[in-house]
Structure 1
Amino acid sequence: MRIAIPHTLGKDEVRRRIETKVGRVGEKASETLGAMVTVETSWVDADHLQMDVSAMGFEVPTALAIEDSQIVFDVEVPAMLGFARKMIEQAITEKGTKLLA
């Protein structure tokens, strides 16, 4: 699943905002889902963040790319979580938009 969120901040400002909040992603995801969520993050390079999300026994690999006018999330939703695709998309869109506000 690919989710794009537009911005007008410039890559440096987007990166700064992500870096200051990325440590709380798991905590925020747990609050949203009402379940224990762990998130491991690593910067691949200056514009690409890899996030390995574990929730309710599922692994959900996620990549974030910072582009000039948008951030793009690529989320590999396991088939068994197909029923939750819309909820995952809404949560990422909502939280990503707040991050960039």
Structure 2
Amino acid sequence: MATPIIISVPHQLGRAEARRRIETGFAKIINLLPGSSGARSERWDGDRLIFNVAALSQTISGVIHVLDAAVVMEIEVPGILRVFAGGLKERLQKMGQLLLTRARSSDE
């Protein structure tokens, strides 16, 4: 059974800007997952990003909900990757905060 990681990152950007930043920064989020091989699928359903990523011969799946004042990440971590769950949550929280609070230049 997968161990869910749930992370909420508050923001003051509004839904449209938060979504744009998640769209452009999603690769950075994926790179934090242990053993991610780059094989992934992702699709938007409204303001929800649904994804699957191959990592260490396992599949990590999740949903990122973009809300007016927060972004909520729900990530299912399977069996062998559970040992990474604690540290992963901290790294994802920090990356989310960077994506949603850092001032962005017009060319990013």
- Give the TM-score normalised by structure 2: 0.76
Cα deviation, residue 33, structure 1:
4.4
Cα deviation, residue 20, structure 1:
2.5
> Taking CA–CA contacts closer than 8 Å with sequence separation of 6 or more, which of the two structures ends up with the larger relative contact order?
2
Are 1:64 and 2:64 matched, yes or no?
Answer: yes
Which one-letter code corresponds to 1:92 in the other structure? L
The separation in 2 between residues aligned to 1:41 and 1:98, in whole angstroms, is: 21
The separation in 2 between residues aligned to 1:82 and 1:17, in whole angstroms, is: 28
The separation in 1 between residues aligned to 2:42 and 2:12, in whole angstroms, is: 24
The separation in 2 between residues aligned to 1:2 and 1:48, in whole angstroms, is: 14
How well do the aligned residues superpose, as a CA RMSD in angstroms?
2.1
Which one-letter code corresponds to 2:37 in the other structure? M
Cα deviation, residue 35, structure 1:
5.6
Aligned residues of 1:53 and 1:60 also touching (Cα < 8 A):
yes
The separation in 1 between residues aligned to 2:36 and 2:68, in whole angstroms, is: 34
Which one-letter code corresponds to 1:39 in the other structure? R
Deviates more, 1:77-86 or 1:5-14: 77-86
Unaligned runs of 5+ in 1: none
Paired residue secondary structure (2:39): strand
Paired residue secondary structure (2:8): strand
Are 1:81 and 2:85 matched, yes or no?
Answer: no
Cα deviation, residue 4, structure 1:
0.6
The equivalent of 2:15 in structure 1 is 11
The equivalent of 2:42 in structure 1 is 41
Identity of aligned residues (%): 28
The separation in 2 between residues aligned to 1:11 and 1:78, in whole angstroms, is: 30
The separation in 2 between residues aligned to 1:55 and 1:37, in whole angstroms, is: 8
Paired residue secondary structure (1:36): strand
